[in-house]
Amino acid sequence: MTAIITATELAHDLAGANPPVLLDVRWQLSMAKAAGAPAFDGRAEYAAGHIPGAVFVDLDQELTSAPGKQGRHPLPDLAEFGAVMRRAGVSAARPVVVYDGGQCWAAARAWWMLRWTGHPDVRVLDGGLPSWEGELSTEVPSPAAGDFVPEPDAAGFLDADGAAALARSGLLLDARAGERYRGEVEPIDRIGGHIPGAVSAPTTENVGPDGRFLPAAELRDRFKALGALEAPEVGVYCGSGISGAHEVLALAVAGVPAALYVGSWSEWSADPSRPVAVGPDPQ
């Protein structure tokens, strides 16, 4: 099993004896609302056309909880998350494929949530919906209830203290843009900079010009250069635990297990007692 799947492979699997559960998690980070423009509406995009059989999952309402001291996209209540997944037809013995509008950030968050809570077979559609060459549907499916029960793995999750410790004992990657890591700009959070000891590794460098993941060998070379292959443990954070999940996914494609600091910079920077580093030097 790999962490990603191509559209051709997905079409083949959907026609097979044990087709995957399909989850549509279209979402995008947008500043449009602040500017007075309508915010992106993933549910409306889903209603206008989706891969046949896909069930819509709302990232803001079902894969995260309300923003607060733990960041902009903290973990959802796991009992409620399990109920959402079961309503979508997710079962432990059936594979799951997740897709979004193409960036794969939201799909990666769903992938990480399912993998972290124990689902054994989850993949992300590389390239998202734009890569799908088959027909689209406006029919909303009513899948039979699944049996998936979340059982979190402590090894895949980091809190603020864990991230701080890992930056010293292992490798903590910052998946945000380099200028945010360096503290040159900060469009969202209270202050710019990075967690002391963290290494800059923008998640945008995990994909090619077409937005799809680089080949596994190229990703492995990238993460090797960052020290991931030698580090005893690897963790990732971003702004609020979304693009960081994409980097954890890229690491998985490269064969490197990694944990996610879900609160990320939105939690860290909101606490004035937490140290902040600026500039290109990790320290």
Q: Scan for tokens 């494929």, then name that residue.
A: 97
Closest CA to 280 of 163, 191, 183: 183
> Does the active-site annotation cover 238?
yes
* Residues whose CB is less than 8 angstroms from the CB of residue 273 and which lie 6 or more positions away in sequence, other chains included: none
How far is residue 130's CA from residue 125's CA, in Å, rounded to a whole number? 10
How far is residue 147's CA from residue 161's CA, in Å, rounded to a whole number? 34
| Strand partners for 199 | 173
Catalytic option among 228, 238, 250, 254:
238
* Residues whose CB is less than 8 angstroms from the CB of residue 262 and which lie 6 or more positions away in sequence, other chains included: 70, 71, 73, 74, 75, 157, 158, 241, 244
* Residues whose CB is less than 8 angstroms from the CB of residue 281 and which lie 6 or more positions away in sequence, other chains included: none
Closest CA to 172 of 243, 261, 241: 261
Which residues are known catalytic residues? 238
